[in-house]
A and B are shown apart, each in its own frame.
Chain A
Amino acid sequence: MPNLPPKKEIFLTGLWKDNPVLRQILGICSTLAVTNLMVNTLVMDLGLIFTVCMSSLTVSLLRKVTPLRIRMMVQTLIIASYVIIVDILIKAYLPDISEALGPYVALIITNCIIMGRCEAFARHNPPGASFIDGLGMSLGYSLVLIAIAFIREPLGFGTLLGFRVMPQGFVHWTVMIMAPGAFFTLGIMVWILKYFRPQTGEEKG
């Protein structure tokens, strides 16, 4: 069994060095839609973190008994089950937000990141490390979404988490509420990051 890097390093790798969205541009599809409101983004992030961590953990626990040929189906089943659970919980405890999130919670299932982590890491590593890996990756992903929402909500609605943050006379940038705003924001963020960290990756901080 190859030597595992210490847990802290696994966590930090997911968070920044190999941040799924920024480095690998994985899985932004579904979640960009909810980033026009910070509160929706936060709830979505919690759902994602729960799903990724639990899925990685479960896949790792089952790694020695799952037949190789059906592992993709099993992974999909596991991920889908956790997503359904998250969906039910949000519908029960946060009904208004559930309506606002619409089908996007379910779309976590097709999110390339989760399947990617299960295939690349959780399948080969012990539960503890897999859980931490999932945590790091999902947190890294969540931070990017929060950063995008941090730009979209104030510029588009003038608020952050419902509190007014822009001065009274501010004319809302309606484009930020809609799809193009999200694309531009993420595109520019990726651009800035790639500018400062060329592909041969050294990380900052």
Chain B
Amino acid sequence: MTKRVLSVVYMFWITLFFASLVSAVKLMNDKRIERNQTIKLQSIILRVLQIPTPEQMPEQALSRLFADRVKEIDVQGKTLYVGYEEDGRTIRGYALPVGGPGFWGPIQGMVGIAPDAAKVLGIAFIKHSETPGLGGRITESWFTDQFEDLPLFPIEGERNIFYLKPEGTSRAANELDAITGATNTSSAVETFMNRELDHFLKDLWGQIGETT
């Protein structure tokens, strides 16, 4: 009988010890982890707005650049980022957070939009759970670079803002290369990005003029 009690007591203390150890390590690193996420978001926003950042820029400098050149605004409940030129007054563009279901899990990205909302400046992905080497290739520059200068127009009828076609078959200006072998991820990205961009043009764009 005592053996059982001893086991339970032992288990209790050792669990307490290790749980505390783990919690301690977590608390010591929480700030850093949060900072990493902030820095990542900031560098992606700067990137899609095409605000140049030197290679290996130290974190402090990046945050300062972000604070100088980007302002966060709220339009109809959606957070948008306005990028300014060096003079601090001329608008360089807008960064629109986009997201949607991928094939395997939620995908989060950012789209840079020109100041007159006529074209895309660039895109980048923040987070995804797609298959590495296949769907995961959406983060590669050959894929994201395609979106530079993509013309934007609100969707009327069946026309999408852009289509992802099998590599090598795109003909129109708004047909881009999908990822070979990752049909599902490509479809998912095409769907939610078109939807988000359309929503921006139809609902958010009109309201922005009043907030900046």
Which A residues contact B (CB, under 8 angstroms)?
A: 36, 62, 65-67, 69-70, 73-74, 77-78, 81, 84-85, 88-89, 91-93, 95, 99-100, 102, 156, 174, 177-178
B11, B18, B133: the one contacting A36 at CB < 8 Å is B133
Interface string of B100-140 (1 = CB under 8 A from A): 00000000000000000000000000010100111000000
Q: Are A88 and B26 in contact (CB under 8 A)?
A: yes
Q: Are A77 and B18 in contact (CB under 8 A)?
A: yes
Query: How near does chain A come to B185, taking the closest CB pair, in angstroms?
Result: 14
Residues on the B chain within 8 Å of A92, using CB: 29, 32-33, 36
Query: How near does chain B come to A181, taking the closest CB pair, in angstroms?
Result: 10
Q: Which of B10, B15, B18, B21 has the most CB of A within 10 A?
A: B18
Q: Are A95 and B40 in contact (CB under 8 A)?
A: yes
Residues on the A chain within 8 Å of B172, using CB: none
Distance A95 CA – B34 CA, assembled complex (angstroms): 10
Q: Which residue of A lies closest to B133 (CB)?
A: A177
Q: Are B133 and A77 in contact (CB under 8 A)?
A: no
Residues on the B chain within 8 Å of A77, using CB: 14-15, 18
B14, B21, B22, B33: the one contacting A91 at CB < 8 Å is B33
Distance A100 CA – B29 CA, assembled complex (angstroms): 20
Q: Are A81 and B22 in contact (CB under 8 A)?
A: yes
Residues on the A chain within 8 Å of B3, using CB: 67, 69
Distance A62 CA – B15 CA, assembled complex (angstroms): 13
Distance A93 CA – B40 CA, assembled complex (angstroms): 13
B10, B127, B134: the one contacting A65 at CB < 8 Å is B10
Interface string of B61-86 (1 = CB under 8 A from A): 00000000000000000000000000
Main secondary structure of the interface of A (DSSP, over half): helix
Residues on the A chain within 8 Å of B21, using CB: 81, 85
With A67-B6, A70-B11 in contact, do A88 and B40 touch (Cβ < 8 Å)? no
Q: Are A70 and B133 in contact (CB under 8 A)?
A: no
A36, A88, A174: the one contacting B29 at CB < 8 Å is A88
B25 at the interface (CB under 8 A from A): yes
Q: Which residue of B lies closest to A70 (CB)?
A: B7
Q: Are A174 and B133 in contact (CB under 8 A)?
A: yes
Distance A112 CA – B37 CA, assembled complex (angstroms): 33
Interface residues of B in 79-98 (CB under 8 A from A): none
Q: Are A70 and B40 in contact (CB under 8 A)?
A: no
Residues on the B chain within 8 Å of A178, using CB: 133-134
For this complex, 21 residue pairs linking A to B, each with C-beta atoms less than 8 Å apart, are A67-B3, A69-B7, A73-B11, A74-B11, A74-B14, A77-B15, A77-B18, A81-B19, A81-B21, A85-B21, A85-B22, A88-B26, A88-B33, A89-B25, A92-B36, A95-B33, A95-B37, A95-B40, A156-B133, A174-B133, A177-B133
